[in-house]
Every structure is written in structure tokens, then in C-alpha cells.
Structure 1
Amino acid sequence: MIASIVTVKGQDSSIKAEVMPVAVQQDIVDIAGGSPEHTTLVKAITDANLVKVFKMNGPYTVFAPTNAAFDKIPAADRTKLMKSKADLAKTLKYHVVGGNWNSVTLMAAIKHGNGVVELPTLAGSKLKATVEEGKVKLTDETGNAFYVTNADIMASNGVIHIVDGVAMPMQQVTAAKK
């Protein structure tokens, strides 16, 4: 089970992911499954045997890449990623953060962190969140940056933020270069 309250590393311990009661009946997988823009994500979750992970009780926050975000990955790399269950699972877990990081909580943590907050992910890596031109910008450990394009989609087990890129853990990038 993912911890329901996560402190922000390197920040004052007074900033925490909110735990909010949610009256929504659909979980994160159900909501993503109903979106025509997230068919690749849902297939990836299924192929990586992570449906139970994304359906478990939260709360947690998912930065959900669109089909177009997956299409930004070069075709050969995308095919390789989708065929490796271990790499695919790690990549998908890199989009999951413990706690309910709705836009208000996320913006407050960024402000409190003097413009940046590091979010520990289920993959064990961190996403760096900043604000650029009024949008939340996420940067993965490889330096790949992408943006939240639609925030605060509430699910029964957390919150979803739609993103226009795919976070890649360092391990996949290193392996792809060999």
C-alpha cells in the first residue's frame, strides 16, 4: 500500500500531500479506460500487469501520459519499451506519486520550495515539479520535461493529471544506449 501522506524531501515538513475524501466511484484505471486519449496508457498498464496497482486504495497521484505523449517516443524505443514488462512497469510506476497532489497542493509545495519540489515516485525515482508560463512542468531524472495539460481529475483512489510527455527512468535510458 502506498503511504497516504508524503512529505516533500528537502522541504519544510509542513507541506504534505492532501488526503481528501472523494465521492467519485471510478478508480484511476476506470477513468483512464474511458478516455480515448489514454488507450496506450491503459494497454501499457495491462501489459505490465499493473492493473491491481493502479486500482489499489490510495490516495495517490498519477501523471497520465496521453497517446500523443507515447507517440513522442521514437518508434523503435517505444516498441522495445512496450515489449519489456519490467521496463514498462518501472516507467509506469514513475508516473505515480503517493498522496493526493491536487493542483492546489502541488502549487503550494512548489511555491514553498522556492520554485521547485521533488516528488518521490512509486518507481523509486523523483520527478521535479516547477512552474513555467503558468503551467506545472515535470522533469524526469534524464532531463526530459513535459507539462500538465489537464489537472485534478478526481478518482476514488486519488487524482489524475494529464501530461503531454512520458517520464523515463534513468535505467531505461542507459539500457537503450547500450
Structure 2
Amino acid sequence: MVAIIVFLVIVGVWELSRKRPKRRHTHRSNLGSFRPGAKIAARPQVATAQLDTVMRAAFQARPLMSRAEASVFYTAERAIKRLDIKGRVMAQVSLGEILRSPDDEAFRAINSKRVDILVISQTGWPLAAVEYQGEAHYQGTAYARDAVKKAALQRAGIAYLEVTPQHSAEDIERDLARVLQGHMAPA
């Protein structure tokens, strides 16, 4: 009797899943066939539930970067100014905002990963990613996560630079000049 009930539940779930229309996931930064002006269906019930949750919760501000990352960030800002690179330095940028791929699985692999520091051109194109590798950086899966970021950035033609606590401001400026040489922003 139990086997029959289990069988009927499995068949019922299978039938429901077959009748449910397949949802196509689109990502703001991975919109291969996106047409400007096209309407994207909103799900107001999700937004209102999220608002309810947020309104019941407590929040506190926290720093965007560690002190060491902030030091590298400001060093990178001074370096691009001295190097006369027309652009900006950004902090904690999501790879899903600066990369896209026709391969949805590959995009999902990088979408929520962030680079510590990103140098962009004056027109907003990513030129170089700077990753700060602190003293205790390579714990757990950090090495593998960084390898994923590095591979995706390099495949997109974006320079990648690793900075350690041993790097001086002059080292960072020299390394930025080296990786940015020949990295021109797309027109």
C-alpha cells in the first residue's frame, strides 16, 4: 500500500513539473538577446515579502573594505592619476556586472563573485582587477575561488593583478603600469 502511495506521489509531481512552463532566467549583465524597452515581469509579492522582512530586521553599517584593502585602493587611485590613466578605481565590484557569457552555467559560476578593486576606463570599461591577498587569504576554498575569477577576467581580456602585504606603493604603481600597458578600452 505504501509503495502505491509513493508511486502516485512521484507520478503526480512528475506530471506537475511537465505542465509547468520552463522559466528562462535572465541576468541583468547576461542578457544576450535583451531588447531595450522590453518589459521584464516583476514579482511584487516577492518584493513586498522582502520589504516586510527588512522592516522587521536590524541593520548596522560595516566597512566596504578592510584597512589593508583600503590602503591598496587609495594607492591604486594615486597610481592611475600619476600614470595619467583616464579612468576610475572602484571597490568590491561584482563580476556579474562586468562580465557576460553565452554559457549560463559559466555566468552563474562568476555572477556573485567580487573583485577587491577594479580600474575602469573613463567610458566605464573594466581595464584591470586588483586582488588583495592578505596574510590569511588562502584559507578554505579561497585559492579555487580566486582561480575562477582570474580565469574569467583573463578570458574577457581584463588584466589581473595580485597584491600582497609585501607590495609597496611603488610596487603597486609599477605593476599597474605593466598590466595596463596595451589594455585599451573597447570603443
**Do the structures match in fold with TM over 0.5?**
no
Greater strand share, structure number: 1
Q: Which has the higher contact order (CA 8 A, sep 6+)?
A: 1
Greater helix share, structure number: 2
Larger radius of gyration: 2
Superposition TM-score, scaled by structure 2 size: 0.28
